[in-house]
Amino acid sequence: AWRKYTPQPFTTQEEFEKEIIRHIETTLARSLYNCDEFATYAGTALAFRDRLVLDWNKTQQNQTFADQKRVYYLSLEFLMGRALDNAMLNVDQKDVATKGLADLGFRVEDIIKQEHDAALGNGGLGRLAACFLDSLASLNYPAWGYGLRYRYGIFKQEIIDGYQVEVPDYWLDFNPWEFQRHDVTVDIQFYGHVDRWQDEEGKQHTEWVGGEIVQAVAFDVPVPGYKTATVNNLRLWGSKAASGEFDFQKFNSGEYESSVADQQSAETISAVLYPNDNLERGKELRLKQQYFWCAASLYDIVRRFKKTKRAWKDFPNQVAIQLNDTHPTLAIPELQRILVDIEGLDWDEAWHIVSKTFGYTNHTVLPEALEKWSVPLMQHLLPRHLQIIYDINLQFLQFVERTFPKERELLSRVSIIEESSPKMVRMAFLAIIGSHKVNGVAELHSDLIKSTIFKDFVKVFGPDKFTNVTNGITPRRWLHQANPRLSALIASKLGGHEFLKDLTQLHKLEEWVDDKEFRKEFREIKYANKVRLAKHIKESTGITVNPAALFDIQVKRIHEYKRQQLNIFGVIHRYLQLKAMTPEERKKQVPRVSIFGGKAAPGYWMAKTVIHLINKVGDVINNDQDIGDALKVIFLEDYNVSKAEIICPASDISEHISTAGTEASGTSNMKFVLNGGLIIGTCDGANIEITREIGQENIFLFGNLAENVDELRHNHVYKQYVLDESLAKVFDTIHSGTFGDASSFTALLNGIVEHGDYYLVSDDFDSYIKTQSLIDETYKNVEEWTTKTITSVARMGFFTADRCIEEYADMIWNVEPLNPTKEK
Ligand code: 26Y
């Protein structure tokens, strides 16, 4: 009976308009006569949400009935961006919405822009999680994401006088995409102590008692797949004071402030995303976040499993948990604790289940990003977990000792506990020992972890425990949504949009590479996308750039290893060369717009200095009458997912220029090439596989190789080093005060000249600027450039996140898709 009252997908534009208006008037209680863009966004989102929710409910019900193995993706970061455009495209009803909104007097782009980005992540790792959720749903895998519902996502970046200023990102004012589950709460314990006792039968029991309780509340976000009825769930935990913890006594006696203190301290746990990317700080609140989220998620997963009444040994056949880096590693001792202390399994049986359930993905080899927690801190916050970690370590070390009896050194090298003062828990080691598979995110990276940071574990466990899953991106958001015209052009040649679900079909584009009309249209689309970005640049910086210039873009988190400093030194070098030319010579050069964007961690002083330098260089060059359109330098404020959707389709060249061996994969490299841009890059991360796929004639590689990095670093320290001549001139220009007070930049330059140039900027500089000249030469030949870009797009099929998900599903999770049962 219920069925006949549930709404169906819109069939007509009128129906859609009726629904928007209904929501604006009733759900939002707004009059249509003062209906602004925001209210229209809200009405549109709610209209689409109604449809989404029904499929979501059905998907969840279907998954419960099917009762097959599910994937749980645990990530502290989900960088989702906006949801409305994605929701409309997934049900293929953006045209209906566009027409309906036009009829009501609005442009769909303006309405979409009203939505606040869901920015619950820092960078690549968080965006990867979001792309994976999209692919999991699109491929109909029964999968849940688990994360934290931060009240503040990654900060908003403002640039004031050339400096980064951080502004809080309060994004929850109106969020139609989350549903609080008032009935799904979990009490999470902290502090306290461990009791041991014996029951009448002489059985030993261990119990964690006392301490504080904080309540976890579930907020669910629907994750729709592309052209499928599957809508998966992303469950984000919010923290609040546990019921009964609120001190009414105090409240009644007038001590309002202290009575709410507990509540506030509980709510602090999910208050804010830590803004560090690849830089570990060891803060207690961060450890609390990690445990809070792991414990709530595991409780939820175990509760769901227990409803099936299966035996515990079936747990790994029903549950696959993927750890997105080491941030959720506490889930390992937590599951062991649940099984041993609460469910009464014996240690070995429990450990067998635990280690078959988890998989661990590593995203970095940088030592400063590897998580370690101090033993005293863990003892204080999670006393039982520390014991369990020690027990896991003991068993593991005994195994190592039996297997390699003569290697005493090995034991201390692989121990989970680092014998420093204070002692530290090495989370990556715990993650390896507690998982059945460990993967890196690009071939070079996966090889590097096996030969460097995890070398000893390859020896202990054998090489098969370690594998590679090269990253990918969702072509739905990063092509279809961000670049609708290119998506439509491709669809017109490939016979529809099927390629968005099977990206390898792109290879058929190669048949069109010599087609005059196709080439022309392809170029026109790139130009239009550059015009769109130029408009955004004008609005946000006031600077006019010429869309016919070569757009050279580097957008990513600001980090020394990513070498934005190399890029800006190259820009200064170009400026000096242009200055030295006659006006006639200058006119003959390929005009260039160098575009930067990205946030620096608030405490990362060197990264902030790089932002400052870029802005100061821009001030000088952009206002130099001699230079005009020949060179412009732009720093785009507050780079985020929705800005990336405008930026990625507009590049001619993008920069992926990390010191070889430091960037695990990179994923924006894939976004740029898929949108018809070329790359200047080092032999690092996924650049290497991109080269293999698209052909080395279609990428501008430069610089030293990973295998030579150690020796080069050694040379800086132990040998006389003569700075490259061109780079020395760049440094002289900075020192002379051309870009303002030179003392602001001395530490940055000294790091290269005097302190060992750890990121090898000077070693790669000459190769970099020569490659930039080659790019200028190549760009002059429009036909050659067009061929390279089209060919590259055609060969990017491998880099879809769908391929990654199938690899994880086969190699690591052993899960099958579940086709939706959509009744009409
Ligand atoms: C420990 C904590 C401070 C921490 C927080 C965030 C450590 C690392 C991170 C984030 C890391 C990250 O984003 N890594 C990136 O992951 C991408 C997806 O695999 C890769 O493409 C990229 O190369 C890597 O830097």
3-state secondary structure 720-749: CCCCCHHHHHHHHHHHCCCCCCHHHHHHHH
Any atom of ligand 1 within 6 Å of the Cβ of 122: yes
* Catalytic residue (one of 23, 327, 557, 632): 557
pLDDT tens-digit readout, 198-228: 999 999 999 999 999 999 999 999 999 999 9
pLDDT tops 80 at residue 822? no
pLDDT tens-digit readout, 711-754: 999 999 998 888 999 999 999 999 999 999 999 999 999 999 99
Give the distance (Å) from ligand 1 centre to CA of residue 787: 34
Nearest Cα residue to atom 5 of ligand 1: 277
Any atom of ligand 1 within 6 Å of the Cβ of 684: no
Ligand 1 atom nearest to 361, measured from its CA: 19
667 is catalytic: yes
Give the residue from 486, 472, 534 showing the smallest Cα distance to 668: 472
* Catalytic residue (one of 667, 733, 789, 800): 667
Report d(CA 69, CA 641) in Å as an integer. Answer: 32
Ligand 1 atom nearest to 128, measured from its CA: 18
Ligand 1 atom nearest to 663, measured from its CA: 23
516 is catalytic: no
pLDDT tens-digit readout, 145-159: 999 999 999 999 999
pLDDT tops 80 at residue 590? yes
* Residue 6 confidence (pLDDT): 53
Which domains are present in the chain?
Answer: 1-66+83-115 (no CATH), 67-82+117-470+809-813 (3.40.50.2000), 545-789 (3.40.50.2000)
For the chain, the average pLDDT equals: 96
Give the distance (Å) from ligand 1 centre to CA of residue 368: 12
Any atom of ligand 1 within 6 Å of the Cβ of 439: no
Residue 217 β-bridge partners: 185, 238
* Catalytic residue (one of 69, 82, 156, 363): 363
Any atom of ligand 1 within 6 Å of the Cβ of 277: yes
Q: What is the dihedral of CA 13, 14, 19, 21, to 10 degrees?
A: 120
Any atom of ligand 1 within 6 Å of the Cβ of 597: no
Any atom of ligand 1 within 6 Å of the Cβ of 685: yes
671 is catalytic: yes
* Catalytic residue (one of 58, 556, 574, 803): 556
pLDDT tops 60 at residue 474? yes
User: For a substitution probing ligand 1, which of 325, 366, 684 has the most ligand atoms within 8 Å of its CB?
Assistant: 325
Ligand 1 atom nearest to 327, measured from its CA: 1
pLDDT tens-digit readout, 594-621: 999 999 999 999 999 999 999 999 999 9
Ligand 1 atom nearest to 371, measured from its CA: 1
Write the CA distances from 66 to 173, 304, 311, 611, 632, integer angstroms: 37, 13, 18, 52, 58
Any atom of ligand 1 within 6 Å of the Cβ of 663: yes
pLDDT tops 50 at residue 86? yes
* Residue 245 confidence (pLDDT): 52
Give the residue from 181, 38, 61, 4 showing the smallest Cα distance to 110: 38
Report d(CA 15, CA 192) in Å as an integer. Answer: 58
pLDDT tens-digit readout, 744-785: 999 999 999 999 999 999 999 999 999 999 999 999 999 999
pLDDT tops 70 at residue 249? no
Any atom of ligand 1 within 6 Å of the Cβ of 364: yes
pLDDT tens-digit readout, 343-396: 999 999 999 999 999 999 999 999 999 999 999 999 999 999 999 999 999 999
* Catalytic residue (one of 437, 476, 519, 562): 562
Give the distance (Å) from ligand 1 centre to CA of residue 363: 5
Any atom of ligand 1 within 6 Å of the Cβ of 75: no
* Residue 824 confidence (pLDDT): 38
Q: What tokens does 247 get?
A: 């001190």
Exposure letters 48-78 (e unless 16+ CB within 10 A, then b): bbbbbebbbebbbebbeeeeebbbbbbbbbb
Any atom of ligand 1 within 6 Å of the Cβ of 279: yes
* Residue 361 confidence (pLDDT): 99
Banded pLDDT at 12 (limits 50, 70, 90)? confident
Q: Answer for the pair 326, 427: CB distance below 8 angstroms, yes or no.
A: yes
pLDDT tens-digit readout, 642-674: 999 999 999 999 999 999 999 999 999 999 999
Give the residue from 559, 594, 543, 472 showing the smallest Cα distance to 131: 472
Any atom of ligand 1 within 6 Å of the Cβ of 290: no
Give the distance (Å) from ligand 1 centre to CA of residue 531: 32
Any atom of ligand 1 within 6 Å of the Cβ of 44: no
Could you identify the residue written with the tokens 């170009």? 574
pLDDT above 90 covers what percent of the chain?
Answer: 93
Report d(CA 445, CA 658) in Å as an integer. Answer: 13
Nearest Cα residue to atom 22 of ligand 1: 666
Give the distance (Å) from ligand 1 centre to CA of residue 374: 21
User: For a substitution probing ligand 1, which of 277, 371, 469, 687 has the most ligand atoms within 8 Å of its CB?
Assistant: 277
Q: DSSP states of 487-536 as a string?
A: HHHHHHHHTSGGGGT-GGGGGGGGGGTT-HHHHHHHHHHHHHHHHHHHHH
Q: 85: helix, coil or strand?
A: helix
Any atom of ligand 1 within 6 Å of the Cβ of 664: yes
372 is catalytic: no
Any atom of ligand 1 within 6 Å of the Cβ of 123: yes
465 is catalytic: no
Write the CA distances from 298 to 7, 206, 362, 439, integer angstroms: 35, 19, 21, 22
Residue 323 β-bridge partners: 74, 360
pLDDT tops 70 at residue 572? yes
Write the CA distances from 584 to 328, 550, 590, integer angstroms: 60, 19, 13
Write the CA distances from 475 to 80, 131, 499, 645, 694, integer angstroms: 14, 9, 9, 12, 17
Could you identify the residue written with the tokens 């130029």? 534
pLDDT above 70 covers what percent of the chain?
Answer: 97
Ligand 1 atom nearest to 276, measured from its CA: 3
pLDDT tops 80 at residue 429? yes
Nearest Cα residue to atom 2 of ligand 1: 280
363 is catalytic: yes
Note if the bond before 422 is cis, omega within 30 degrees: yes
Nearest Cα residue to atom 21 of ligand 1: 666
Any atom of ligand 1 within 6 Å of the Cβ of 280: yes
